[in-house]
Amino acid sequence: MSLLPLIPLFPLVGAAACAILHARTLAARRRDAGAAQNERVVGAIATLAIVASFAVSVAGFFIIQHEPERRVAWIVSNWIPTGGQTIDFGFVLDPLSSVMCLVVSGVGALIHMYATGYMRGDKGYARFFTYLNLFVAAMLILVLADSLPILFIGWEGVGLCSYLLIGFWHENMKYAEAGQKAFVVNRIGDFGFLLAMFGAATWCVDAAGKGSFQFAAINESVLAGHVEPWQVTVIGLLLFVGACGKSAQLPLYVWLPDAMAGPTPVSALIHAATMVTAGVYLVIRMHPIFDASVLASSVVACVGAATALFAATMGLVARDIKKVLAYSTISQLGFLFLGAGCGAYDASFYHLVTHAFFKALLFLGAGAVILAMHHEQDLFKMGGLKRALPLEYRTMFVGAAALAGIPLMSGFFSKDEILGGVLAGRPVFGNEQINLVLYVVGAATALMTAFYTFRLIYLAFEGESRSNEHPHANPASMTIPLAALALLTIAAAALGLPSVFGEFKPLEHWLNPVLELGGESGNAAKAHGLSHSAQWLLLGASAAIAMIGYSLARATYGGGLAKSRARAEAMPGIYKTLVDRWYVDELYHAVFTKTLRLAGVVAGLFDAYVVDGAVNGVAASAKRAAAAARGLADGKLQSYSLWFGAGAVALVAAVLLLI
């Protein structure tokens, strides 16, 4: 279908147009023409580009319903002729990529609209929208790709835009450093991704012994058992290394909290709703590999669970409103991997979609609060905003309820589906006891999530104001997206209600052609299944957990900061450890950054004194020998070269004579 390339093409053209407008603004500024940049034109171009993408995605969604396998492809063959497996430039729209396109362009369009208000007056307005449009284009390439290398284009493209947008206010060295950290940490993940890509192309062969970079061929090869089990495991683990970088999982999560340096719409779009889910998308896209390797899928599940819990602990004490949401994002991404690792791909993807809505909503709400408070991000300096910002309060409350898993909200159901999937899913490391442990970890994380989410709401909106600033109202361009996302957050529940509410599961049915590759094993969680009574029990437990977390937050923060201070003082050790983020950044700095710097210095010294010393030593001794032999004081260049040459000649002559 020739419509497919249009999906990323619109934002790409939008980016180019914004770049040209930015160049014109710069030129005008240099001439001191003083012409203000035309923000309206830039904002309109950028937003409409994404809206156009969304429209094509919707069209695509309807078109593939009439296709036999619910998929259409578009290919330009032989993009890179490798001499072995060719790399075609191909897109495929199937149920999975189609939903991703809708979410990316849909949420992306809302965030673009929001950003036209948020970035008003910034001197890099057009530059911002250049990067933001470019990001959406790269993200759409990532989800549409039909092979690993094409996905990698998008993968690196979103990494570049993330780098540029985290360091958008580059005058601030801290922000620039945060951007660099994100890119470099992601490169560590990419190292795994690259090797996984080579391994898959070489090892995943078809019946005729031919390899391929294409997802379909790789999955088929694994399903047909043409690959050695250890090779499948290696590919799976390496892919997951890549996923850990992009989706901020242990031990590579450290870049994401720092990434909050970027403007808030960036955090909402890139570091919550879209880019960071790419790792999960990759795992779901290549799930036959994880289905085939117990080790790889178990590692995914355990790392996910560990990350979920670990990040949540840091969310409990963070004071920066965006950092709370950043830790929450890491934690929720951990949930997605936990579900995917146990084979509950549908649940994981369901939560991916609901999370995209409610986390984008929360970030945009946080941005509205920050802007209203004149760029104050410290929750301890807010309070009482409910009155001044009623719409922001209501919409953020909806987002918080979803994140905390308050019953009947979309996040409640999707999280519960993951937890149910963990219990019913394939045994982790072949041991069902471990599933039980992972469930408990997930439940504990859910408790913390409910607590820190409502902590945020109470600190920002309830009680008395702790600030001297008078909050100002936000423009409609910012509040409309908030309202729209709140509605989506509520409505998204319907995408995958648990089966106790009937077999109305549109998302799961829609995804079946992708998720049921390889039959039932492709959807391990469903294969086991949970009885209705067990499901009711889990739902009840989840509801209780959320309400306990909510009550704890209310009890602690309902009346200002006094109680929380007292609690923090009651356990200073734990509190400080959490505030200092378990000292992981310090540890990494000491172990990796310093070691690398030291290695650079040592290599420099070694190079200067040993390697170059030997070179100069040879030259000097040749010179001395020449001076001695010929008794000449002025034997500079000539003797130097003569003896050097003669020595070399003798050496090679000896070698040749020996032949």
Binding site for other proteins (CB under 8 A): 26, 30, 78-84, 149, 152-153, 156-157, 160, 163, 167, 170-173, 176-177, 179-180, 183-184, 187-188, 190-191, 194-195, 198-199, 201-202, 596-597, 599-604, 607, 611-612, 614-615, 619, 637, 640-641, 644-645, 648-649, 651-653, 655-656, 658-659
Closest to other proteins by CB, 110 vs 151, is: 151
Tell me the residue length of the chain: 659
Which residue has 């989840």 as its token pair?
542
What span, in angstroms and rounded, lies between the C-alpha atoms of 350 and 356?
A: 10
Closest to other proteins by CB, 225 vs 604, is: 604
Do 95 and 510 meet the contact criterion of CB atoms below 8 Å apart? yes
Closest contact distance (angstroms) between CB of 579 and other proteins is 27
Closest to other proteins by CB, 61 vs 191, is: 191
What span, in angstroms and rounded, lies between the C-alpha atoms of 170 and 218?
A: 42
Closest contact distance (angstroms) between CB of 499 and other proteins is 42
DSSP string over 422-450: HHHSPPBTTBHHHHHHHHHHHHHHHHHHH
Closest to other proteins by CB, 194 vs 295, is: 194
Element of type H or E holding 73: strand 72-80
DSSP string over 137-193: HHHHHHHHBSBHHHHHHHHHHHHHHHHHHHTSSTTSHHHHHHHHHHHHHHHHHHHHH
Closest to other proteins by CB, 469 vs 612, is: 612
Quote the tokens at residue 237.
């683990």
What span, in angstroms and rounded, lies between the C-alpha atoms of 74 and 1?
A: 6
What span, in angstroms and rounded, lies between the C-alpha atoms of 422 and 306?
A: 14
Closest contact distance (angstroms) between CB of 354 and other proteins is 31
Closest contact distance (angstroms) between CB of 561 and other proteins is 35
Closest contact distance (angstroms) between CB of 27 and other proteins is 9
What span, in angstroms and rounded, lies between the C-alpha atoms of 344 and 195?
A: 26
Closest to other proteins by CB, 197 vs 488, is: 197
Quote the tokens at residue 394.
């209501």
What span, in angstroms and rounded, lies between the C-alpha atoms of 247 and 303?
A: 12
Closest to other proteins by CB, 390 vs 604, is: 604
Reported as half-sphere exposure (CB side, CA atoms, 13 A), residue 542 has a value of 29
Quote the tokens at residue 498.
């648990």
Closest to other proteins by CB, 183 vs 550, is: 183
What span, in angstroms and rounded, lies between the C-alpha atoms of 453 and 494?
A: 23
- Dihedral class, residue 505 (left if φ above 0, else alpha if ψ from -120 to 50, else beta): beta
Closest to other proteins by CB, 80 vs 537, is: 80
Do 189 and 243 meet the contact criterion of CB atoms below 8 Å apart? yes
Burial pattern 39-66, b for ≥16 Cβ within 10 A else e, equals: beebbebbbebbbbbbbbbeebbebbee
Closest contact distance (angstroms) between CB of 230 and other proteins is 12
Closest to other proteins by CB, 537 vs 651, is: 651
Closest contact distance (angstroms) between CB of 84 and other proteins is 6
Cis peptide before 251 (omega within 30 of 0): yes
Q: DSSP assignment, residue 631? A: T
Closest to other proteins by CB, 84 vs 506, is: 84
Closest to other proteins by CB, 529 vs 645, is: 645
Comparing CA positions, the residue from 173, 141, 557, 591 lying closest to residue 383 is: 557
- Dihedral class, residue 209 (left if φ above 0, else alpha if ψ from -120 to 50, else beta): left
What span, in angstroms and rounded, lies between the C-alpha atoms of 25 and 256?
A: 32
What span, in angstroms and rounded, lies between the C-alpha atoms of 360 and 113?
A: 13
Closest contact distance (angstroms) between CB of 124 and other proteins is 10
Closest contact distance (angstroms) between CB of 503 and other proteins is 43
What span, in angstroms and rounded, lies between the C-alpha atoms of 385 and 366?
A: 12
Closest to other proteins by CB, 565 vs 594, is: 594
Closest to other proteins by CB, 21 vs 457, is: 21
Quote the tokens at residue 262.
């970027």
Closest to other proteins by CB, 200 vs 446, is: 200
Which residue has 């469903």 as its token pair?
526
Residues 6+ apart with CB under 8 A from 507: 99, 346, 349, 350, 353, 495, 496
Closest contact distance (angstroms) between CB of 605 and other proteins is 9
